[in-house]
Amino acid sequence: MRKVVLITGASSGIGLALCKRLLAEDDELHLCLACRNMSKAEAVCAALLASHPTAEVTIVQVDVSNLQSVFQASKELKQRFQRLDCIYLNAGIMPNPQLNIKALFFGLFSRKVIHMFSTAEGLLTQGDKITADGLQEVFETNVFGHFILIRELEPLLCHSDNPSQLIWTSSRNARKSNFSLEDFQHSKGKEPYSSSKYATDLLSVALNRNFNQQGLYSNVACPGTALTNLTYGILPPFIWTLLMPAILLLRFFANAFTLTPYNGTEALVWLFHQKPESLNPLIKYLSATTGFGRNYIMTQKMDLDEDTAEKFYQKLLELEKHIRVTIQRTDNQARLSGSCL
């Protein structure tokens, strides 16, 4: 039986590179591309099948910043599949990133210059907005939409006799200082991306604590700095091209510069081939590239504690309950209005 792998954000960047690498290693997989833009997804699907005619590649439309879309996609997936072997929770946004020139300048002359370039700590701020669901957009897209997807797909994921895997695209930019349990949507801060990635790390730890006995395991990986639509939002492509000689030199000292989406998927692909029950849930797996272009995996103990992870998980369950009650009330009102016409 083919393994079924669901990948969110599969039509470009890390997600697309992941699809290509997985099929290059095993074209007997069934890849399901979970994408917002159907025309892009259909083009990617056709290209993948042309390169790997024995593979099975399908599409489901989902926008993880819209809970109705997540519920609809989950319903379709439960009709199509009896189980999912792996979900790559990869879709994410970093809206309107602003580079802090002052922090960059001072960082260049500090002892933390390599760390600064590896993690972008203190360099980036982003704008954020409220979605139709009344949530912060970065939080809903990067964290909560995926959380609801997992909750909805539990029947396909929880099989104690044959483990399933969740693999999150996290970041070296996940900073404890940017996250607060009291403001876990980061509505009052200026670094929602960093906060959302730290929230991802917490959620992964909590999911292991609550679902390992049911055969579901979760891990986080960082693709490093790869040139994708996300990074092109920070600086335009021509600036990255101008900076490339300096970046290639810097890569001898900072292995986070994976640069290509292919290189960035190193840790994500490696995780797929491991026995999930053998992996340490408190470790983040990092894609890294040497100055000579060789890819390898690094590990990093995450700066978090399991108690905070569990508290965050409970807050997400409370928010989920509130959302479901609101949706049910709205549906009931719509039925009443319809019956009165």
245: Cβ contacts below 8 Å, ≥ 6 apart: none
- Sign of the alpha-carbon torsion through 155, 157, 158, 159: positive
How far apart CA 208 and CA 214 sit, in angstroms, is 10
CA–CA separation, 216 and 307 (whole Å): 20
For 159, 161, 183, 206, the CA distances from 314, given in Å and listed in that order, are 23, 27, 14, 9
**Furthest C-alpha separation in the chain:** 71
Q: Where do we find the tokens 């590990």?
A: 299
Residue position matching structure tokens 């809206």: 95
Catalytic status, residue 262: no
Q: Which residues contact 108 (CB under 8 A, 6 or more apart)?
A: none
DSSP-derived pairing of the beta strands 283-289 and 295-301: antiparallel
Q: E-assigned strands of the chain?
A: 4-8, 30-35, 56-61, 86-89, 98-99, 124-125, 164-169, 216-222, 283-289, 295-301
Map tokens 């894609």 to a residue: 287
For residues 306 and 9, what is the distance between their CA atoms, to the nearest angstrom?
A: 28
Among 287, 244, 318, CA closest to 90: 287
Catalytic-role residue among 88, 193, 198, 217: 193
Positions marked active-site: 193
